[in-house]
Amino acid sequence: MRIAVQAVNTPMMETTLALLRRKMAERGGPEVQIVADGAELVLGIEASEGAEAFSIAREGAGWRVCGGDARGLLYGVGKFLRGCRISAASVSYTGPLGTFSPTLAVRGMYFATHFHNFYHDAPLEKIERYVEDLALWGCNALSVWFDMHHYTGIDDPAAQAMIARGHVKDKDEAFAKFLACIFWPTASKTVLEYSHSTWRTCITT
C-alpha cells in the first residue's frame, strides 16, 4: 500500500507507521511503501481537528487520515484499519467517513495483576501487543494493580520479580517510549504511584 506522510517525522509517527505496517502484514495485506506521489493513503496532522481527534476522508481514489495531534493520528489509523477489507493485492476502507473526537479526556484500562490471570502470567510480548491494540482503539491511560496477597512482603523474591517484570524500559526501550507517548501524557497529569500495597498509574487533576 502506498502511503504519503504529511507530518513531521517524530518517534510517535515512526511508531504509528510501524504499527500500520505490522497490522497490514498480519492480515495478509500489501507491503507498505512511503511515497511522495500516487498515495493510496495520506497521513497528516492538523491542529484544527482538535486534541486526540481525527478525521477520515476520501483523497482522490484513496483516503486521508488526519489527526489533531500525534495521538489523534494513531487513533485514526486504528479506526481506518478496523474499517478496511485487506487482501494481498488491495486495501479498501468501507468504514464511516467524518471527524471523530473522544467523549472523555481519560480513557483507561485496568490491569489487575493477580490470581494468575492474563496480566499476571502472559508473556510480555503478548501484553505489549494488547497494549498497542488498546492504543489503536483510543485508550490513553493504564492502571496497574500490584496485588500483595500473593507474597509474604514487598521484599519477597517473587514480589521483586513481579516488580521487575513491570519495568518495561529495562526490557524493551522502544515499547517504553511508546507507552510514554500514548499513556503517560494524558489530558490530566499522570503520576506513577508506588507503595507497599499498590503499584498503579493514577490520574490526578
**Structure confidence at residue 178 (pLDDT):** 62
Closest CA to 182 of 126, 123, 145, 128: 128
Q: How confident is the model at residue 170 (pLDDT cuts 50, 70, 90)?
A: low
**Structure confidence at residue 145 (pLDDT):** 80
- pLDDT tens column, 82-114: 999 999 999 999 999 999 999 999 898 888 888
- CA 95-98-104 angle, to 5 degrees, is 100
Q: With pLDDT > 70 as the criterion, what percentage of the chain qualifies?
A: 81
Choices 3.40.50.300, 3.30.379.10, 3.30.450.20, 3.40.50.720: CATH for 2-100? 3.30.379.10
Euclidean distance between CA atoms 10 and 176, whole angstroms: 15
Q: Tell me what the pLDDT averaged over the chain comes to.
A: 84
Q: How confident is the model at residue 69 (pLDDT cuts 50, 70, 90)?
A: very high
pLDDT at 46 over 60: yes
**Structure confidence at residue 188 (pLDDT):** 37
The position carrying cell 504529511 is: 6
